[in-house]
Each structure stands twice: as structure tokens, then as C-alpha cells.
Amino acid sequence: MNISLAEIAKITNGKIKQEVKQDILITHISTLEDARKGGLSFLHLAKYHPAIYKTKASAVLVEEEFKAEKKINAILIHVKDVYTSLIKLLEMYDHNVHKKGIEEPVFIGRDVKLSEGIYLGAFSYISTHAQIGKNIKIYPNCFIGEGVSIGDNTVLYAGVKIYHNCRIGRNCIIHSGAVIGSDGFGQLPQADGSYKKIPQIGKVIIHDDVEIGANTTIDRATMEATIIQKGVKLDNQIQVAHNVEIGENTVIASQSGVSGSTKLGKRVLVGGQVGFAGHLEIADGNQFGAKSGIPASIKEKDGKWFGTPVMPVHDTLRLYAIFKKMPGLYQKIHQQEKILEELKKHLKK
């Protein structure tokens, strides 16, 4: 990385209020604590304010209204939003966006449509009738099933598996080990206690601008489609069962699970290790704290929920406050019972 202060200011629409040489080169981006000479850092939270006075960075991105309380050795670049500006700079130096070409060996089946700008990593397998859009990056050891379609500018990292007939939108990111379109968990109990597999003949449809974390699994529908709407962000190690629908711009953290035929609305926020029972409907804008369990549908919008089973977050926190007092209350009750027993004995005399 070699970029001048002037270029950084232009890219971020920032302002350098100090009188300095605009051609000073920046060679790396790092945190305030780890930065060294030639580095660009950033101040995005108030708790890191002390670090800006000690940093060895040559320049620091700060908010427009930031005012130093004492001398800072670094050059300050004032921007409207620090994180947005940082993302612009990081995107410039993401080496993954520049990969192109087809490595060897790969397998490409018949009637496969490959568009321009593709990167296809070694040992990948593209099945018959697959359609691969423009500027797609498919890293080594990926499997693309028969009839799969993938939209422009999507990235599949190493080891992604996409089963037959699934559809992936544009500008998606699917991280290593993710499995899209595996069979839903459909098993019919038999009279003898065994189970008969229910064929899963549907598919998965993933819309544009979706990101799916490493080792996340999204099952195909029994019939029709499991649907991930535009802008959804799924963390690592999430299970999405058959016939689920996840609404636009919903975000789900690691190790959560959504059972079959449940529908999450738009802008739902889900903490880690949350579990949804099957056949539920969750209204738009609801938020769920980590390790919550949701056994029933939630019709009202924009609620905040926590606990197992979930309750409004303030109710759950009040209950937890009471739980902390339970041992002491038990001791008091136990002592009162002893006193009552002594009184009973005394009265009998």
C-alpha cells in the first residue's frame, strides 16, 4: 500500500486542517495501538480517545467535530463518518477483487455459461447447465451443482458447496465451508418406530447483496424454495432449515438456528445461539438477545426480546435480578420455618 494524504482526503471526502505536505505517503492501515510511522489509523469510539495521544501513526481518521485536548503527533483527517471512510480505503486494497482467470485442474460440464471477468480456482467443479455471471470469484475446491445460477460480482470462497438448481444473486459473499441447498430435515415416523425420508425437491433462492458466513448451512425446501432476501447477513455456523424465509436486511449472529417454515421479517437482529421453533412468523424490526429461545410467533414490530422462552427484555432482566436474590430469600424462609416449628412445639406444651 502506497497512497498520499491528498489521495486519502479525496477518497474519503475528508479535510486536513493542519498545514502539512499533502504528498506524505501512507504505507499501511492499523489500529491506534499497533500503528507505526507511515501508518493510517482511525478513531471511531470515545473510549479510544486516550490512544490517539500516544499513537505512532502518521495520520488518523477522525470525525468532523473532533477536537484534540492536547498535542497529537499524527496528522488528522476529518471525515463525516470514520467507519464508512475506512471501508472505502480497505476496499481499495482487498486483493481478492483482482483475481481473474481459470486455474488448472477444474471441471466444467456441458452447456455451462461462463461470463467475462471470472476467477475459477483449482479443483473446482462446475456442473451441467450452470450459469456463472460477470466478475465472479470461485475459489479452489468449490462445487457448483447442476442448473445453479450465480449473479454478477459474487464471491465463493474455498470449499463452498451449492447443490443443484439453487439461485444466488448479485454481489453476494459466501465464505468457506458453507453449504447451500442440502436436503431439509424431513423424516416421517413409521408405525414400527423407524423413519422414512421425505424427498426434498425444492431449492434455495438467495437474493442480491447477501453475505453468508463460514460453515453456515441453508437447506433446500421440501417443495418450492427456502428464501434469503436482499441484504441479509448471516454469521458463521448458522443453520437455516427448509422452507424458511429471511426478510431483507436481517442480521443473524453465529450458531443460531431457524427451524423449518419459519418466516423472519425485515431488519430483524438476532444474537448468537438463538433458536427459533418451526412454523413461526416474526414481524419486522424485532431484536433478540443471545441464547434466546423463541417458541411462538411475534406479531408486533420492533420489539426487544431476551431469555428462554423469550419475554420483553426489561421483563427478563427484572426476573434475573430476582433470581440473584433467590438463595438469600430461601435462607430467610428456611429460618422462618424453623422459628415456626419452635413456636408450635412451645404452644403444644
In DSSP notation, 24-88 reads -EE-EE--TTT--TTEEEE--SGGGHHHHTT---SEEEEETT---SS--SSEEEEES-HHHHHHH
Which sign, positive or negative, has the C-alpha torsion 120, 125, 128, 131?
A: negative
Fold identical between 3-93 and 99-312? no
Whole-number pLDDT of residue 96: 56
Whole-structure pTM value: 0.85
* pLDDT over 60 at 215, yes or no: yes
Q: In the chain, where are the structural domains located?
A: 3-93, 99-312, 322-349
Mean pLDDT of 94-102: 73
Condensed to tens digits (0 to 9), the pLDDT of residues 24-66 reads 888 999 999 998 999 999 998 888 889 999 999 999 999 999 9
Per-residue pLDDT band at 20 (split at 50, 70, 90): confident
Report the CATH fold assignment for 3-93.
Answer: 3.40.1390
Which residues pair with residue 269 across a beta bridge?
Answer: 251, 287
Active site positions, annotated: 242
CATH architecture, range 99-312: 3 Solenoid (2.160)
Which sign, positive or negative, has the C-alpha torsion 20, 94, 236, 34?
A: negative
Per-residue pLDDT band at 207 (split at 50, 70, 90): very high
Cα–Cα nearest to 9, from 75, 54, 68: 75
